[in-house]
Structure 1
C-alpha cells in the first residue's frame, strides 16, 4: 500500500458510476462478492460514517501546456478530449498526442482479443469500458517516464519497484513489449549491488525520497516480471534479452539464494506492501521471494536454482501454510498477499478455496477487500488488494469470481473512469486516482480471462 491518506470530509453526487451501481451491475454478477458483503455485515458493526477520505482527483491528464495535472472536479472533465487523458486545448502537433495515439493503437490487437473473449457475455460492454480506462490510467502514469509512478498526487509520484514490476508485465501483455523492457531496464539500473531495492524512488534517479526501510519484496517481483516479459518475446530475440538483463538476473539470483540460504530459510524481515516496519517475516515477503526464486530457475535453467525454488515452496507450506497462510507465520489473520502466489504463477501452493475465502474474510462494506484481517476497521476497500485477488483468481481458473471483482471495480471508478486507490464504506471512490498498480492488475486479469 502507499502513503496513509489523511481523513477528511468528502462529497457525494449522482454520477455514471453511481448509476451503474444502482442498476445492480455488481449484484447481478455473482454470489461471491454479495455473500462476502452479507457475511461482513452480519459479523461486524456498522462502520463509523465519519471515516471518510476525500477523492484527490477524478483522473490525471495532460493539460494544454503539455504537463500532467490532477483533474479534480467533474466539471473540469469537460475540457478533456472524449475517451482520453488529454486536454482539448493541446496543440495538434503536440508530441503528447502522438504518444497517446501510438500507445492506444499498439494495444488494438490485445483489446480485440479481450473483447472477443467475452462475446455473448452480459458483462462484455462493461469489461470493454474497464479495459479502456485501465489502459489510459497506466499510460498517463507511465508516459515519457523511465517507469510508471504509483500515482500523480504528490506523495505517490514515485516509482515503487513492486508496482512497476506488475506494470511492466501488463505493458508487455497489452502489446507494448518494448515499453515493458524499458521499465525493467530502469529497475535494473537502480538495483543495489546486494540485490535489494529501496521502497520507492524519485523518477529518473536511483535515490529514495525519504528514509523508509528497504523492501525485499521488490527483489523477487522484479525478476518475476522479467520472466513474464521474456515469455512475450519471440524465441529468436530471447537470448539477447537475457544477455541484456544478465546483471539483473545474476544480482537477484545471488540475493535470493543468499537471503534464503538456497531456499531453505525464510527471507530477512522487511516492510512489504503495507508500508510499515515489521518485526517478523510476512506472507507478502514469502510469496514474492517464491516468485523470484521460481523466476531464477526459469531464466537460468540451472538445476540448483530450480531446487532452491522447490525447497522454498516447502518452507512456505510448512510454515505459513501449516497455520492457514496468515499474515505472519502463526498469527495475524488472513492477508491479501496470499493472492500474490497465483497472481505470479505460483499455483498449487494455496488452494483455490483459500483464495475464494479471502473475498469474505477481508470483505468491506463498500464491496471490496481490506489488505488484511488485522487492518484497521475503517470500512475502506483497497483496490490494489481487490484487483490483485481478481488476478489471482483469473490465473487460478476461477473465472466467475474474477469477473465479479472486475464488475465491482468497474462500478467504483471515478466519474472520469479512473480506478481509485480506495473505496469508502458507502461505495464512493477515495484517495488517489488513478493508481498504476490497480490498473495493471485489471489489465492482467482481463488478459488472463481472455487466455482461458
Structure 2
C-alpha cells in the first residue's frame, strides 16, 4: 500500500487513492461471509461474528458504487432472508401494538445479527430502527444503479416496512448504541429516507406503500419540527442562517451522524439553508484537520476521530459542490489507513477525553481494524469525487 502523507501535491496522489479504493474493495469482499453478511470487523472482540444492518448497508452502497454487483446482491439476499425469517415475529409485534399492548424492547428486532441470522447470545443495546431504514435506502439505490429487480428482496422489504411503520416513533438507541430514552434525529432521517425510497420504488402493494409513506412523512415532520434549532420553519424552509439539525429532540448539541439527514436521507435538500447550517455546525464542533468526532461528550476509546464520519461529511460536501472540502476528507482518511491498507474505526488524534482510552483498551482490546464500514464509506466518497470513474486517468483532474 502506498503511503499517503496528509499534505502532498494533488496529482501524484491519484494513483495511491485509487489503489486504496481497490484495497478497500478487497478487504470488504475478503471478509464477506459465505452467506452474504458483511461482518462489522473480523478481528475486534465485540464485533467479531456479528453484522449490523447500518454498517452493512453503507458498506453495500460502497461496494455497489465500486461496481461489484455480485457482492452487494449477496448482502441484500442475506438481509432479505434474515428479515423474511422474522415474518411471524413482526406480525406478532404489530398485532400487539395495534391492540394497544406495550411491546417491551426485548421483543423488538435486533440491531445486529449473527451470520446465520440469529440474535446474539450476549447482551447488547439492541433496539435501533435506523438500520432497517438504511437497508431500504441502500437496496433501492443499488437496484436503481444496476437495474436490479426489487421483487427479489420482497420478503425482507415487507418485514422491514411493517416493522418501521409500526414503531418508527418510539425512542430507541442511536447509531452508537446510546441514549435509548431519546428520539434521535439521525434515526428519524434514516427511517424517513428508507421508507420514502421504498414507497416511491413501486415494489410495495398499495396498503404497505400507503403505510410506508405515512410513516416516512411522520418521521420527517417530527425531525423538522422538533429536531432543529429554534426559529426554523419546516413548512417554509426558512429560519436563522445558522439553524441546524440536533442530536436528539430537545437538545442543541450535534452529532457526527447528522450529515446523513442531508445526504443520503434528504430530510433537508443539499444546498438548502438547513443543510448548509447542519454541515457547518458539525464541521465547527466536530471536525479537526479533516477527521470527525462522533459528539463532544464521547468517551469511547477516548473520543477519537472516525474515518467513516469524515467520509460522511466529505460526501455531503461533494454533493454540495465543495470539492476541495470533500478532497480534504478523502486525503485525511487515506492518510490514516494502516501500512497494509486497512482502515480502523477511529484514530487517537485530538482525543476529546484521553483519560478514558485505557479502560476501553483493557475491556475490548485495540480499536477495531479493519472496520468494513470505514472501507465502504471511503468507496462512497471516492466515487462521489469521480475516482472510481473508469474514464479518469492520472492525467485527469487531480485528486
> For the structure 1 residues 426 and 211, does the alpha-carbon distance in structure 2 shift closer, same or farther, using more than 3 Å as the test?
closer
Q: 1:166 and 1:384 mapped to 2: Cα distance?
A: 10
Q: 1:367 and 1:224 mapped to 2: Cα distance?
A: 27
Task: Report the counterpart of residue 344 of structure 2 in structure 1.
Answer: 420
SS in 1 for 2:262: helix
After superposition, the CA RMSD in angstroms is 2.9
Kindly provide the CA deviation profile for residues 69-117 of structure 1, in whole angstroms up to 9, marking residues without a partner as x.
xxxxxxxxxxxxxxxxxxxxxxxxxxxxxxxxxxxxxxxxxxxxxxxxx
Kindly provide the CA deviation profile for residues 357-387 of structure 1, in whole angstroms up to 9, marking residues without a partner as x.
32221135x7512111332393511222222
Return the offset for 1:186: 1.0
> For the structure 1 residues 207 and 255, does the alpha-carbon distance in structure 2 shift closer, same or farther, using more than 3 Å as the test?
closer
Of 400-409 and 309-318, the range deviating more from structure 2 = 309-318
TM-score, length basis structure 2: 0.74
> For the structure 1 residues 186 and 253, does the alpha-carbon distance in structure 2 shift closer, same or farther, using more than 3 Å as the test?
same
Task: Report the counterpart of residue 256 of structure 1 in structure 2.
Answer: 164
Return the offset for 1:310: 4.1
Task: Report the counterpart of residue 113 of structure 2 in structure 1.
Answer: 201
> For the structure 1 residues 321 and 277, does the alpha-carbon distance in structure 2 shift closer, same or farther, using more than 3 Å as the test?
closer
> For the structure 1 residues 126 and 345, does the alpha-carbon distance in structure 2 shift closer, same or farther, using more than 3 Å as the test?
farther
Kindly provide the CA deviation profile for residues 178-224 of structure 1, in whole angstroms up to 9, marking residues without a partner as x.
22121111112222332964122222232323222222111111111
> For the structure 1 residues 342 and 134, does the alpha-carbon distance in structure 2 shift closer, same or farther, using more than 3 Å as the test?
farther
Task: Report the counterpart of residue 149 of structure 1 in structure 2.
Answer: 39
Say whether 1:446 aligns with 2:337: no
> For the structure 1 residues 297 and 397, does the alpha-carbon distance in structure 2 shift closer, same or farther, using more than 3 Å as the test?
farther
The one of 359, 373, 377 aligned to 1:437: 373
Count of equivalent residues? 328
Counting only pairs closer than 5 Å after superposition, residues 328-367 of structure 1 correspond to structure 2 as 328-331=248-251, 333-346=253-266, 347-348=268-269, 350-364=274-288, 367=290
Say whether 1:133 aligns with 2:35: no
Kindly provide the CA deviation profile for residues 103-156 of structure 1, in whole angstroms up to 9, marking residues without a partner as x.
xxxxxxxxxxxxxxxxxx564234223312322221222153521101112322
Task: Report the counterpart of residue 320 of structure 1 in structure 2.
Answer: 227
Task: Report the counterpart of residue 397 of structure 1 in structure 2.
Answer: 321
Kindly provide the CA deviation profile for residues 238-273 of structure 1, in whole angstroms up to 9, marking residues without a partner as x.
4xx22222222222222232224xxxxxx2111122
> For the structure 1 residues 232 and 176, does the alpha-carbon distance in structure 2 shift closer, same or farther, using more than 3 Å as the test?
same
Say whether 1:186 aligns with 2:78: yes
Return the offset for 1:424: 1.1
Task: Report the counterpart of residue 124 of structure 1 in structure 2.
Answer: 14
**Which stretches in structure 2 are left out of the alignment for 5+ residues?**
92-107, 231-243, 352-365, 390-396
Q: 1:122 and 1:314 mapped to 2: Cα distance?
A: 47
Task: Report the counterpart of residue 376 of structure 1 in structure 2.
Answer: 299
TM-score, length basis structure 1: 0.66
Task: Report the counterpart of residue 281 of structure 1 in structure 2.
Answer: 183
Q: 1:145 and 1:155 mapped to 2: Cα distance?
A: 21
Return the offset for 1:172: 1.8
> For the structure 1 residues 315 and 331, does the alpha-carbon distance in structure 2 shift closer, same or farther, using more than 3 Å as the test?
same
Q: 1:411 and 1:176 mapped to 2: Cα distance?
A: 25
Task: Report the counterpart of residue 290 of structure 1 in structure 2.
Answer: 192
The one of 202, 205, 210 aligned to 1:300: 202
Say whether 1:20 aligns with 2:1: no
SS in 2 for 1:168: helix
**Which stretches in structure 1 are left out of the alignment for 5+ residues?**
1-14, 30-120, 261-266
Task: Report the counterpart of residue 167 of structure 1 in structure 2.
Answer: 59
Kindly provide the CA deviation profile for residues 37-77 of structure 1, in whole angstroms up to 9, marking residues without a partner as x.
xxxxxxxxxxxxxxxxxxxxxxxxxxxxxxxxxxxxxxxxx
Task: Report the counterpart of residue 361 of structure 2 in structure 1.
Answer: none
Task: Report the counterpart of residue 269 of structure 1 in structure 2.
Answer: 171
Answer yes or no: is the 8 Å Cα contact 2:51–2:115 preserved in 1: yes
Kindly provide the CA deviation profile for residues 221-241 of structure 1, in whole angstroms up to 9, marking residues without a partner as x.
11111111111233xxx4xx2
Runs of 4 or more consecutive aligned structure 1 residues displaced over 4 Å after TM superposition: 305-308
